[in-house]
Amino acid sequence: MTSRPGFVLEVDRSTPPILMWHGNSYRLERFPKGARILYPPEPQEPIKDPKSAIAQALESPTGDSKPLSALLHKGMRLVIAFDDVSLPLPQMQAPDVRQMVIEAVLEKAAEHGVDDVYLIAALALHRRMTEGELRHALGARVYDAFHPRKRLLQHDAEDPSNLVDLGTTEHGEVVEINKLAAEADLLVYVNINLVSMDGGHKSVATGLASYRSIRHHHNVKTMVHSKSFMDMHNSELHTSNWRMGRHIASQGVKIFQIETTLNTDTFPKPFEFLSKREWEWNLKDRTAFIASSTSLQASPDWISRDIMHKIRSPYKLTGINAGEVEAVHAKTLDKVFSQQLVNVEGQSDILTMGLPFVGPYNVNSIMNPILVYCLALGYFFNMYIGKPLVRPGGVVIISHPNKAEFDPAFHPSYIDFYEQVLTETTDPKEIEKRFEESFANDPWYIHLYRKGNAYHGVHPFYMWYWGAHALDHLGGVIILGGDPKATRRLGFQPASTMMDAIEMAKSVVGPDPSITHLHSPPLVMAKVI
């Protein structure tokens, strides 16, 4: 059976209330007549035999590249870099696609007598993965074979002894990446492309880079000119990464890129109603919704969070391409778009979205207000090609409790950013100018990033820049059900009901506004015509 495509539903009086994420829980919201709901396409059929598909991809590469077995020889150093815990979301059911691909690569390497193998988690400035997370991503076999030998490493963007300066691009961007990876005879990058932003040259040029290098594209100017991050042809972020990637290749770093795409089968059986269309919910789905939403809402936050973060997605492999970076990425993008893209006619005055419990930066952790901001304005807002779903000067309504709760182990610099920076200003340019340097070079944050499991000191700044394009574009942001104090700290307005939020939005966009709701899960991208 083929999966049904996504579509835009116009709300009429027979339209049921629509499911909306609200942090660790979800609820049903009724939309006014005439509002548009953007329903995602259904998950695509997975590859029936992933093992042979992986083997096939490694041996019949895309673009100007030899097959993997022709690149392997005795006595060489092989480095396998892989995407970190921020992908996929939520974490997928075992076996993780990284495990499947890395095992296939290792088997080939063993067959060709390659003894000198390192595995590196491409963290960039993200937190180090925990043992449990590494075991989950790579599988116990790989972990137990490489970790005790100190051959399973996590990229350290602040370790001068393991970084190499490859010079600058024609635009003067410093290219500094992981030394082990740069000097290896072959660097195999194993990627998961959950959204179109991931992959391509960004994998190595960002994932294995240092702060000195990343700052050239993770800044307000680049972000404001990335319209959107999901559309690499109109994204300054990608243009910069592509320049760096090509420079890395020109410096003799040999990269064999393996990119995988997953379908959007996000929730396991007990929660499968979340991905269904409301009028197709059967008795079991409705019972599951009532029981789970009631109990999640009644539970303390730490319990509901714990339950939700224990969800493992039944994602399945829909495509794998290997070989030369740019040729591989072009194929990957086609696959991602075929899964996620829906055509939408015209922009609207108001865009509404429910935010889930997890974003790329709070896996097994708390979604703090800065991450709420980033997920909404950085990610969901940018899920478009062409024009944003909301018109310039429009309003975004976000549904999330937005409590001022932080994880001190994972997000220490976020706490200070929230207390020291956001109390002064919310303007990304001013924040960048006045505060970035001191946070980025703070020795304590660097220490926590290198030795603990903390995000880099500069990471909350990047989160803020991530939403700079949306802030530039929008006339206002309202957080439905958001904690009033925390919401105002972000520079937004809190509202208690959807009707209130729409009324408040009217003061910005005028009476009788058009509304579009981004229905999630699963992931959906809009091609706004």
In angstroms, give the least distance from the CB of 279 to another protein: 4
**Shortest spacing between CB 502 and another protein, in angstroms:** 19
The first and second tokens of residue 358, run together, are 């997890």
Q: Which is nearer to another protein, 251 or 282 (CB)?
A: 282
Count CB atoms within 10 A of the CB of residue 11. Answer: 18
Q: From start to end of 68-185, where are the E strands?
A: 77-83, 116-122, 152-154, 163-168, 174-178
Residues interacting with another protein, by CB under 8 A? 4-5, 7, 9-17, 28, 278-279, 281-283, 286, 289-290
What is the number of alpha carbons within 13 Å of residue 429 lying toward its C-beta? Answer: 6
Q: How far is the CB of 345 from another protein (least distance, A)?
A: 13
Closest approach, Cβ 301 to another protein, in A, equals: 24
Report in angstroms how near the CB of residue 43 gets to another protein at its nearest.
Answer: 16
- 387-396 in b/e burial notation, b at 16+ Cβ within 10 A? bbbbbeebbb
Integer Cα distance of 514 and 36 in angstroms: 8
Q: Kindly compute the dihedral angle of the four CA atoms of residues 62, 63, 68, 74, in this order, to the nearest 10 degrees.
A: 180
Give the nearer residue to another protein in terms of CB position, either 226 or 352.
352
d(CA 285, CA 236): 43
Q: Compare residues 15 and 438 and give the one whose CB is closer to another protein.
A: 15
* Cβ proximity of 149 and 180 under 8 Å: no
Q: What burial class does residue 360 get, using C-beta atoms within 10 Å of its C-beta: 0-12 exposed, 13-18 middle, 19+ buried?
A: buried
Contact, 474 vs 407, CB < 8 A? no
- For another protein, give the closer residue by CB, 15 or 514: 15
Residue 7 or residue 337: which is nearer to another protein going by CB?
A: 7
Closest distance of CB 349 from another protein, Å: 19
Is 279 exposed, middle or buried, given 0-12, 13-18 or 19+ CB atoms closer than 10 A? exposed
For residues 486 and 369, the answer to whether their CB atoms sit within 8 Å is yes
Nearer to another protein, 14 or 423 (CB): 14
Question: DSSP 3-state assignment of 493?
Answer: strand
Residue 132 or 270 having the CB closest to another protein: 270
**Rounded CA separation 439/503 (Å):** 39
Least Å distance, CB 318 to another protein, is: 21
> Which residue number, 66 or 286, has a Cβ lying nearer to another protein?
286
- The nearest distance, CB 512 to another protein, in angstroms, is 17
- Give 37 or 114: the residue with its C-beta nearer to another protein: 37
* Least distance between another protein and beta carbon 498 (Å): 15
- For residue 409, how many C-alpha atoms fall within 13 Å in the half-sphere facing its CB? 11
Cβ neighbour number for residue 525 with a 10 Å cutoff: 25
* Residue position matching structure tokens 């990335």: 226
Report the residue number, 277 or 305, with the smaller CB distance to another protein: 277
Q: How far is the CB of 308 from another protein (least distance, A)?
A: 19
**What angle, rounded to 10 degrees, do the helices at 428-440 and 459-466 form?**
160
Q: What sections of 341-442 are H helices per DSSP?
A: 369-373, 412-416, 428-440
Of the two residues 5 and 32, which places its CB atom closer to another protein in the complex?
A: 5
CA dist., res. 294 & res. 304, Å (int): 11
Closest contact distance (angstroms) between CB of 399 and another protein is 17
